[in-house]
Amino acid sequence: MSEANMSATSSDSAPMILLEHVNKWYGHFHVLTDIDLTVARAERIVICGPSGSGKSTLIRCINRLEEHQAGRIVVDGVELTNDVRKVDAVRRDVGMVFQHFNLFPHLTVMENLTLAPIWVRKMPKAEAEAVAMKYLERVHIPEQAGKYPGQLSGGQQQRVAIARALCINPKIMLFDEPTSALDPEMVKEVLDVMLKLAEESNVTMICVTHEMGFARSVADRIIFMDNGQIVEQNVPEEFFNHPQHERTKLFLSQILAH
């Protein structure tokens, strides 16, 4: 595709995220093999697969926490290259939620939330705090605004992390196994927040998770990865009821067995 074509990708019909022949190696280990993926605006995608299959690496390439070595990644019309300005432009539109929350422990919840709006979006402090409060209410913990992350439970921390990512008003939300570091009793409160986000907003979501109930009710499409490849992708109904590949069947049988 030429540069001229690329610049026109901001229209509504153009994909939000486009990956073409993306390859990545860690040393000799081929972690992503020839990934092709097109994500539409407001689409909800769940990526699952065994550990080490490259699913986290894949979504971390989308906001350039990892660099790909071959192929193209275009996010909302901006191709990710070594150009720092393009990387910054993409990161301004992409929110990310990590497995281990990665809140800033030396800042209060409010300061965690207003950091990017104030420093990246150059928003006045009062306005940033109002936005932060709005999102804290959406994740049901406005009363924790003045506390430090260390004083919150895991589930509360992850909800703060989701609010923090939403505060930059992203077009895309990436979730990297958001519930797998949580104690079981806290998984639901986080999934509920994510569900509500999917219902009430039109943000594009890509979520790496093994929560198949969540996938079934939220995902437009489920992608199964193994050995750095996209093995199979389908709408939830088909994906769960009629998996095509042996590896998908095996994986589903393992995680749905109990």
Partner 1 sequence: MSDAALPAAMPKPATNPLTWMREHLFGNPFHVLLTVLVVWFLAMSLPALLDWALLHAVFHAKDVRECQAIDTGACWAFVGEKHRLILFGLYPYDEQWRPLLVVILLVALVGVSCIRAFWNRWLVPLWLVGMAAVGVLMWGGVFGLSYVENARWGGLPLTMILAFTGMAVGFPLGVLLALGRRSELPAIRAISIVYIELIRGVPAVSLLFMASVMLPLLLPEGMNIDKLLRAQIALILYASAYLAEVVRGGLQSLPKGQYEAADALGLTYWQKQRLIILPQALSISIPSLVNTLITVFKDTSLVVIIGLYDLMNAAKAAIVDPAWRGSAIESYVFIAAIYFVFCFFMSKYSQSIERRLDKEQHPS
Site string for partner 1, 135-164 (x = CB under 8 A): -------------x-xx------------x
Closest contact distance (angstroms) between CB of 141 and partner 1 is: 17
Q: Which is nearer to partner 1, 98 or 239 (CB)?
A: 98
**By C-alpha distance, which of 55, 41, 33, 57 is closest to 205?**
41
Segment interacting with partner 1, rule: CB under 8 A, options 3-11, 30-38, 99-107, 195-203? 99-107
Give yes or no for residue 92 binding partner 1 (CB under 8 A). Answer: yes
Q: Which is nearer to partner 1, 151 or 254 (CB)?
A: 151
Give yes or no for residue 186 binding partner 1 (CB under 8 A). Answer: no
CA distances from 115 to 22, 60, 92 (A): 32, 21, 13
Q: How many residues bind partner 1 (CB under 8 A)?
A: 27
Alpha carbon 123 to its chain's center: 24
Provide the residue type at 148 as one letter: Y
Give yes or no for residue 95 binding partner 1 (CB under 8 A). Answer: yes
Closest contact distance (angstroms) between CB of 84 and partner 1 is: 8
Q: Contact positions toward partner 1, by CB under 8 A? A: 63-65, 88, 91-92, 94-96, 98, 100-106, 115-116, 119-120, 148, 150-151, 164-165, 168
